[in-house]
Chain A
């Protein structure tokens, strides 16, 4: 009997986690908005290039490794600045990296996010950084939005890798929720 009871609770607990598309009742109310996955193809993700210095447009986070300064261009890549003389900083090159917001550096290596990848550059020559390594899925994005009690469009892996979520108005309650 005791075991039966345990089994019952186990089943109850497990089934409570399942996202059920046939759910008749709403666990929480649908307010007409839901999250839609933003997909990126592996091809687009792999587009990384070192180009000439670019003007700042939407500067984001900064990182210092003397005498260099790294400035993130939101979602686009990294400006490399020679800051030996802070009164006269020189914009020397730009690494174009899809989906980049963060970086850190040590010695001759620069680490950056490239959507869900971690990429490593050899910056011995900061005018010409070289991509030396790509670690896939280092910054994982789950197949659900990072919020609780929300509705979202179910992920279709054939469309690509989920690299973000946008909240949009939805006419119909989507099938997935958490």
Chain B
């Protein structure tokens, strides 16, 4: 018996390792762009990855299995603090924006996400997007968002270790709402002020390029070179390139 014990132990370890590795693989597949699944902006409270629908309410994360598309089945509810605002799935994690910070849940098991950490800051409203190892979080002051403070900002948070997010950069913004990221460009909706374009060739240090003042912006979806923006004047679509050109495609105006 004594002789086989180490082998059992080793066998279990290998089995565990295999399980962990395949688990990660599944997670990737789930989060990878699926032609069948759509994409939302950073302001969204609804998100779908694989066969799972996530809904953030003001105080909880609700998880639904939608394998049978017409019949969502609740798999779990995670009670959270107050003031939950947005959800952004990226790779194996869910980034949840709240009035007092950003929660990171691991969704390797999509039906039962596990809390990894909470990045806390001063009370504010804060959608988040993620690219590579960095999360971009906007903090907006305002009546219901950040009453005690006057400054709005854009924070860059290193999330390469989801259990220990680290802020690496912060800069002033005027009035940030939704944001979108693609390659070396970060786009921040600034409500009535317009759409602000930042260069993130160095992803940890966004550099202000310009604000398109004629484009009031609330939510944005960036897909490669294609920008889809909504704001008080309507829906606007643009194409951008690496040389900072932004070409107007179309609009559906507010009437």
Contact = CB atoms under 8 A, between A and B. Distances in A.
Interface residues of A, number: 48
Contact of A60 (B48, B69, B219): B219
Interface stretch (A1-9, A43-51, A142-150): A142-150
A143 B55 CA distance: 19
A132 B234 CA distance: 30
B59 interface: yes
B142 to A, nearest CB: 14
A139 B62 contact: yes
A71 B235 contact: yes
Interface of A: 55-66, 69-71, 81, 83, 86-89, 91, 101-109, 111-113, 118, 120, 122, 132-133, 135, 138-142, 146-148
Contacts, number: 153
For chain B, give the interface size range. Answer: 35 or more
Interface of B: 35-41, 43-48, 53, 55, 57-60, 62, 64, 66, 69-72, 74, 82-83, 178, 218-221, 223, 226, 228, 230-232, 234-235, 237, 249-250, 252-255
Contact of B219 (A55, A62, A120, A147): A62
Main secondary structure on chain B at its contact with chain A? strand
A62 B235 contact: yes
Contact of B250 (A89, A103, A122, A148): A89
Contact of A108 (B58, B69, B74, B232): B69
Given A69-B228, A106-B66, A118-B55, A147 B38 contact: no
Nearest to B234: A56
Contacts of A66: 35, 38
A83 B221 CA distance: 14
